[in-house]
Amino acid sequence: MQEEKRSEEMKRLAENLADKLSGDLSEEEMRAVMEDHERQVAQLEGLLASEKEKQMAALRDKLRRRREEKEAAMSRKQKEEVQT
């Protein structure tokens, strides 16, 4: 999913770059367009990395809660066995 989103956004940025470069630009204008493109790509990569880290944190939290629930269930079961 994340890779698909990255691919779509990179394609969009590449198309945008191609559109901007299709005109008759001076070397300075071309350089500015390329620098802007590189900035946008870096921003996208940072955003996707941040999103991935959030997803990983949510997954770790979910796994921690499951483990705690399992341990609590085992503890209850052991207490029930001791009482009988």
Q: Is residue 54 part of a domain?
A: yes
What's the structural domain count of the chain? 1
DSSP codes of every residue in 38-80: HHHHHHHHHHHHHHHHHHHHHHHHHHHHHHHHHHHHHHHHHHH
Q: Is residue 65 part of a domain?
A: no
Per-residue pLDDT tens for 19-73? 988 888 899 999 999 999 999 999 999 999 999 999 999 999 999 999 999 999 9
User: Which residue range(s) make up the domain with 24?
Assistant: 2-59
Q: Is residue 74 part of a domain?
A: no
Q: Is residue 38 part of a domain?
A: yes
Q: Read off the pTM.
A: 0.68
**18 three-state secondary structure:** helix
